[in-house]
Amino acid sequence: MVGGQARAPHPGSIAGYIPRPSDLKDQCMKLTILAVSDEVDQRIYSPSLRERMADVTMVIGCGDVPASYLEFLTDSLHKPVYYVLGNHAEELTREGSRGFPRLPEGCINVGGKVVTDSLSGLIIGGLPGSPRYSEREPVQYTEWQMWMMIARMAPRLIWNRIRKGRALDLLVTHSPPRDINDEQDIAHRGFIAMRRFLQWFGPAYQLHGHIHVYDRSKSHVTRHLGTEVINVYPYQKLDLAFSRLLQHEEPAATSRYPDRITGDIRERAGMKAKPRP
């Protein structure tokens, strides 16, 4: 289920509150996710962001946004930020291509990895970069290299399927899969390996960037098998429903940022929050 960029809270719900599985038997877990890619959008890079996006439970970076942008998101929303590198690897620099290369602080790089969000139990996999098309861009892959990256992730995905009943819930990539939301030029052609990934491992959603769609009337969502493939450029606020999340796993009681996140949830749920030092 995909929402627009401006979203009203669900009737009767408490914005940002993640219910316990016992409260929602036979229902699905709904998460509000802010996803960004390719461009610093001033509607997001704004002091009022925390007010406007208080119900966001996590942030996803789909590549080619500066480290400072991702760090701003983690600082202002106090929520986990998961990201992959884009082909230009903007995330590695603070000030343009000559800046000192470093990874964004306080954010989690999921490129080539499979991780579990400790608060929601969401299983997230990531595939960075674009197809190889020039000698200058640092994060590009041939189809063969993309197959190899997927092969290295496969043991964890298969283990998840055996143990939790699903390989992953959310795939985060920079490029799209072949013939889904992609374009015909070599730099923006989708990966065949990524399309096969969806067939084999069946995430509920794939979020990607890299394809700049300026016509807002054009659809940015394509359904492929059991996966909704969503182009998030330049940002999307999404209400995503994960039907398998509650059936197979109890979310962990603690979060990556236990004081901040559980404190926020308590406040929004109308509970008495502990005073912060």
Residue ranges that bind Fe ion, judged by CB under 5 A: 64, 86-87, 210
User: Smallest distance from the beta carbon of 94 to Fe ion, in angstroms?
Assistant: 19
Please identify, using beta-carbon distances, which residue of 166 and 210 lies nearer to Fe ion: 210
Nearer to Fe ion, 79 or 210 (CB): 210
Query: Closest CB to Fe ion among 177 and 251?
Result: 177
24 - beta bridge partners?
none
Q: Quote the least distance from Cβ 42 to Fe ion, whole Å.
A: 20
Calpha distance 139→154 (Å, rounded): 21
| Chain residue whose CB lies nearest Fe ion | 210
Smallest gap from residue 105 Cβ to Fe ion (A): 23
Q: Toward Fe ion, which CB reaches closer, 176 or 251?
A: 176
By C-beta, is 137 or 267 nearer to Fe ion? 137
Cβ of residue 44: shortest distance to Fe ion, in angstroms? Answer: 18
Q: Least separation, in Å, of the C-beta of 220 and Fe ion?
A: 15
Q: Which two tokens stand for residue 52?
A: 């406007």
